Amino acid sequence: MTTRVAICGDLFMRAEFFAAALRDAVPSGLDLSSMELPWPDRPMHHGYEAGDLSGLKEFMGAPEEIAAFVEGAEVFVNHLAPVTAGMLARLPQLGLIAVSRGGPVNIDMAAARDRGVKVVNAPGRNASAVAEFTIGAILAETRLIRAGHESLRQGDWRGDLYRADATGEELSALTVGLIGYGQIGRRVVPLLLPFGCRILVDDPYVALSAEHRAAGVEAVDLDRLLAESDVVSLHARVTEETKGFLGAPQFARMKRGAYFINTARGPMVDYPALYEALRDGRLRGAMLETFWQEPPPPEAPLLKLPNVTLTPHIAGASLTTVRAAARMMAEEVRRHLAGEEPLNPC
């Protein structure tokens, strides 16, 4: 018996990677069709508050076009395409949606449950990439890599960055605070340990591993982490509890001259408050990978500050991530076809 599988990839999660992983996991019996969306060359939508797409976040594609492509398929392997209640009503044969994201933010989960469509995702698929990127972000700030680059690119040889009152400490002399100890935070810890820095972790829902406790990592509350850390790095997930939870009071609790790193998500941060803390010199610098909207408006004052390093939400971008996500989705499809329980049900 042949199973029809529709694959919707893009210019990062290429459909060919999904297809190759599927053929490895299920060598026969699959009828694969694929399409690709133009992300990241074109930005995705970040939240939509009206019509059939209400409640969906971080998606790309027109529902009518996606539904027409998926029609008749029993399995939909997806990255960014939206799946709405209206679309599911047109797809009675669909039994599984495998979405290669950390969360199914582009899927109407209530509608999927109502129609008995299983949804699986790929938690941690880019955790290694983001953890590695975080170390680079911390070094870019604390070792003045960004400051030196910006000045030299403009023809200014900043020899003064070698002055004792301009340079800073090595990581071995710093305290790094990690807000969040999930898939990414847990991977940042072992990358930081060889530097010899003190590591604090705040996560009210996840306990430190025995290995990390033995290595000297300390579990603390948020107030203590902010007060004692030279570098604060955000690794929490966006929930109703965490939306905007880093604002003016929290930045005021941080050490004067500390650094803030955000490789997580923008909605957790009050960016006007962060701007004030950076402009006034309370925080020495920040590395921002995500924003309140993406892309942020080019005239935004935060983008003009000289003590901020900016990247366009690329921390998870690696071929390792692509291959890992494709393998995870292929294994979920294999299990579905074999009648086995999913590894990561949503």
Among 45, 294, 334, 335, the one annotated catalytic: 294
From first to last of its 346 residues, the chain has per-residue pLDDT tens of 899 999 999 999 999 999 999 999 999 999 999 999 999 999 888 776 666 787 898 899 999 999 999 999 999 999 999 999 999 999 999 999 999 999 999 999 999 999 999 999 999 999 999 999 999 999 999 999 999 999 999 999 999 999 999 999 999 999 999 999 999 999 999 999 999 999 999 999 999 999 999 999 999 999 999 999 999 999 999 999 999 999 999 999 999 999 999 999 999 999 999 999 999 999 999 999 999 998 899 999 999 999 999 999 999 999 999 999 999 999 999 999 999 999 999 9
What burial letters (b/e) apply to 82-107, b meaning 16+ CB within 10 Å? bbbeebbeebeebbbbbbbbbbbbbb
CATH homologous superfamily of 127-310 equals NAD(P)-binding Rossmann-like Domain (3.40.50.720)
Output helix, strand, coil percentages for the chain, rounded to the nearest 5. Answer: 40, 20, 45
Among 198, 313, 327, 336, the one annotated catalytic: 313
Domain 3-125+318-338 identical in fold to domain 127-310: yes
Please report, for the chain, the start and end positions of each structural domain, with discontinuous segments joined by +: 3-125+318-338, 127-310
Query: pTM for the whole thing?
Result: 0.91
pLDDT on residue 53:
86
pLDDT on residue 145:
95
Q: 3-class DSSP state for residue 139?
A: helix
Q: Quote the tokens at residue 28.
A: 């026969």
pLDDT on residue 48:
66
Does the active-site annotation cover 146?
no
Residues 6+ apart with CB under 8 A from 266: 290, 291, 292, 293, 294
* Torsion sign, CA atoms 93, 98, 101, 103: positive
Does the active-site annotation cover 65?
no
Q: 3-class DSSP state for residue 308?
A: strand
Q: What angle do CA 220, 224, 229 make, to 5 degrees?
A: 100
Does the active-site annotation cover 265?
yes
Asked whether 145 and 170 are in contact (CB, 8 A), the reply is no
pLDDT on residue 49:
60
Fold of 3-125+318-338: Rossmann fold (3.40.50)
Among 265, 284, 327, 336, the one annotated catalytic: 265
CB atoms within 10 A of CB 111: 17
Look up residue 134 and give its DSSP letter: H
